[in-house]
């Protein structure tokens, strides 16, 4: 089987298994994975709305945005842009930058998808990311964070929650890279200046090292984690944030707490 067919087949297996269809907001970060996901999704019968979240990380965010614009020009789409600064959050002033950034991105992606009446928001998370995230949570005994170890999570209109769709969930880092190269997709090679020493980098290398010794172990891990997630009953119920009305596990969502801290509410 040729590579392109293999790659598209992995995405199709997610689409078919979960019956993904309709309007999809595509979160572009400018990096290789989200660009590959967007490029591949244009080959399906979806209505796609690409968007970019400008995190305001100096030159890095500007460079990433240029690449996101470039792929939209190539594929004939208009890029929508959201600025984190418009919400009063300045990452350069945050102490736990990666955690603030993660919360803000998850929130804004969902808000964008919901406001644009999308059934899903698609992200570039691949198999390598999913396993790194899962093992990192296991390493810190953070079992509740197992939520989300699935390629598709359904939405809930009453809770202002868009569905989540990870088309590259069964594809590894190097496979996404190969797809990007084969299709000459432009992407930002820079890494986020805040995430250079993230402990997860070594974890990812370790997972890939195991995969080299035992081909297929990554896919099996992912399938096991997916089953564990299905077996786990949610300990916390999702409700609506009392300030903004978007989904939250507590009375006030994490994003509104952040805005409160930075003085905009």
Instruction: Supply the minimum distance, in Å, between the C-beta of residue 99 and Zn ion.
Output: 17
Residues in contact with Zn ion, shown as a per-residue x/- string from 190 to 229 under the rule CB under 5 A: ----------------------------------------
Binding to Zn ion by residue 243, rule CB under 5 A? yes
Looking at the Cβ atoms of 75 and 94, the one nearer to Zn ion is 94
* Closer residue to Zn ion, CB minimum distance, 27 or 241: 241
Tell me if 65 contacts Zn ion by CB under 5 A: no
Least CB distance to Zn ion at residue 149 (A): 25
> Residue 248 CB, nearest distance to Zn ion (Å)?
6
Please report whether residue 241 would count as binding Zn ion according to CB under 5 A.
Answer: yes
* Nearest CB to Zn ion, comparing residues 31 and 247: 247
Q: Please tell me what DSSP assigns to residue 208.
A: H
User: Please, which residues have CB within 8 angstroms of residue 249's CB and are 6 or more apart in sequence?
Assistant: 236, 237, 238, 239
Q: CA-to-CA distance for 65 and 84, rounded, in angstroms?
A: 13
- Cα–Cα nearest to 124, from 70, 45, 52, 223: 52
Which region, left, alpha or beta, applies to residue 237 given φ > 0 means left and ψ of -120 to 50 means alpha? beta
- Check binding of 265 to Zn ion (CB under 5 A): no
Task: Considering only the stretches 45-53, 93-101, 227-235, 237-245, report the one whose residues sit in contact with Zn ion under the rule CB under 5 A.
Answer: 237-245
Q: Tell me the H-state helices in the chain.
A: 3-18, 32-41, 58-75, 97-115, 127-139, 173-182, 200-213, 217-231, 254-261
* Among 59-67, 124-132, 150-158, 252-260, the segment contacting Zn ion (CB under 5 A): 252-260
Give the number of residues in contact with Zn ion, rule: CB under 5 A: 5
Among 53, 55, 253, 258, binds Zn ion (CB under 5 A): 253
CB of 255 to Zn ion, least distance (A): 5
Which residue is associated with the tokens 């409700």? 239
**Burial (0-12, 13-18, 19+ Cβ within 10 Å), 178:** middle
| Helix, strand, coil in percent for the chain, rounding step 5 | 50, 10, 35
Q: How far is the CB of 256 from Zn ion (least distance, A)?
A: 3
Is 152 strand, coil or helix?
A: strand
CB 170 within 8 A of CB 56: no
* Nearest distance in Å: CB 115, Zn ion: 14
In whole angstroms, the minimum distance from the beta carbon of 24 to Zn ion comes to 24
Q: Closest CB to Zn ion among 158 and 197?
A: 158
Cα 194 to Cα 4: distance, rounded to the nearest angstrom: 34
Q: Which of 244, 249, 262, 265 binds Zn ion (CB under 5 A)?
A: 244
**Which residues would be at the binding site for Zn ion (CB under 5 A)?**
241, 243-244, 253, 256
């Amino acid at each position: 089987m040729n590579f392109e067919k293999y790659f598209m087949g992995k995405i199709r297996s997610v689409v078919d298994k979960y019956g993904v269809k309709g309007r999809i907001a595509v979160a572009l970060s400018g990096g290789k994975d989200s660009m590959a996901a967007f490029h591949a999704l244009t080959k399906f019968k979806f209505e796609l709305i690409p968007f970019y979240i400008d995190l305001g990380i100096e030159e890095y965010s500007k460079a990433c945005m240029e690449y996101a614009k470039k792929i939209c020009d190539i594929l004939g789409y208009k890029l929508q842009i959201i600025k984190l600064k418009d919400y009063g959050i300045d990452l350069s002033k945050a102490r736990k930058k990666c955690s603030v950034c993660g919360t803000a991105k998850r929130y804004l992606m969902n808000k964008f998808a919901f406001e644009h009446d999308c059934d899903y928001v698609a992200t570039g998370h691949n198999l390598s990311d999913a396993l790194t995230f899962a093992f990192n949570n296991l390493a810190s005994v953070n079992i509740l964070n197992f939520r989300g170890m699935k390629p598709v999570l359904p939405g809930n209109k009453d809770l202002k929650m868009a569905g989540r769709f990870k088309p590259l969930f069964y594809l590894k880092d190097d496979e996404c890279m190969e797809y990007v190269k084969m299709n000459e997709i432009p992407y930002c090679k820079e890494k986020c200046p805040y995430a250079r020493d993230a402990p997860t980098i070594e974890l990812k290398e370790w997972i890939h090292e195991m995969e080299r010794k035992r081909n297929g172990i990554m896919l099996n891990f992912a399938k096991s984690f997916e089953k564990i997630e299905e077996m786990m009953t949610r300990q916390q119920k999702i409700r609506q944030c009392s300030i903004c009305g978007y989904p939250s596990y507590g009375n006030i969502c994490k994003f509104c707490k952040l805005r409160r801290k930075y003085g905009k509410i």
